[in-house]
Amino acid sequence: MKSDWKFLQRFSPQSLLGLRWSLGVVFCLAGVLKILDPIGFHADLLAYELAMPDVVSRLIAVVFPCLELICGIGLILGFWRESVSLLAVMMSLVFVLMLTQAMARGLDLNCGCFGSARGHWLNLPSIALIRACLMLMAAFWLHRRTRPTPSI
């Protein structure tokens, strides 16, 4: 059965551009702040208490911020739209899942979203989860708008 996504067509190209740039700025900011403090980001990752080897968490602490920066730049400049919008969806989904499991387990942590800015209300897990859900919805909307529709 074919799903109906025509409601997405009602938004103007300017709203698509504004959303793409806004999401791109958020990804760029998050990536740059983590790149500037990989040790702090690694500490934030460890606070999630996930069962993974230290070498994997260190690799994530170095690679993930670079992916965020590439995704943000791609969103802002509009290149590789299909790939970058899918990457934004996948990374936003990871954010939502990580924050949800941490909150469900009652972990008291800094979300790590924007580097190691501890104690700031924007880094509270509940606020971060709301932001991550909004980012996921925006990224999904962008991805649906940039995906070519099949001709069949």
Domain boundaries, the chain: 13-145
pLDDT on residue 1: 44
Summary mean pLDDT of the chain: 85
Rounded mean pLDDT, 14-18: 78
φ, ψ for residue 20 (rounded to 5)? -60, -45
pLDDT on residue 9: 56
Using one digit for the tens of pLDDT, what is the confidence trace for 38-49? 999 999 899 898
Residue 5 · residue 70 · CB < 8 Å: no
Tokens of 47: 């606070």
Q: How many whole angstroms separate alpha carbon 18 and alpha carbon 12?
A: 10
pLDDT on residue 25: 95
pLDDT on residue 17: 81
Instruction: Say what percent of the chain tops pLDDT 70.
Output: 83
Q: How many whole angstroms separate alpha carbon 77 and alpha carbon 51?
A: 37
Residue 140: pLDDT over 50: yes
pLDDT on residue 16: 77
Hey, is 66 helix, strand or coil? helix
Nearest one of 122, 5, 10, 142 to 76, comparing CA atoms: 142
Cα 27–Cα 28–Cα 33 angle in degrees, nearest 5: 100
Nearest one of 108, 110, 106, 104 to 123, comparing CA atoms: 110
Q: How many whole angstroms separate alpha carbon 97 and alpha carbon 109?
A: 15
Using one digit for the tens of pLDDT, what is the confidence trace for 69-124? 999 999 999 888 889 999 999 999 999 999 999 999 988 888 888 776 655 667 77
Residue 136: pLDDT over 80: yes
Residue 132 · residue 96 · CB < 8 Å: yes
Question: What is the DSSP code (8-state) at residue 150?
Answer: P
Hey, is 54 helix, strand or coil? helix
Prediction pTM value = 0.82
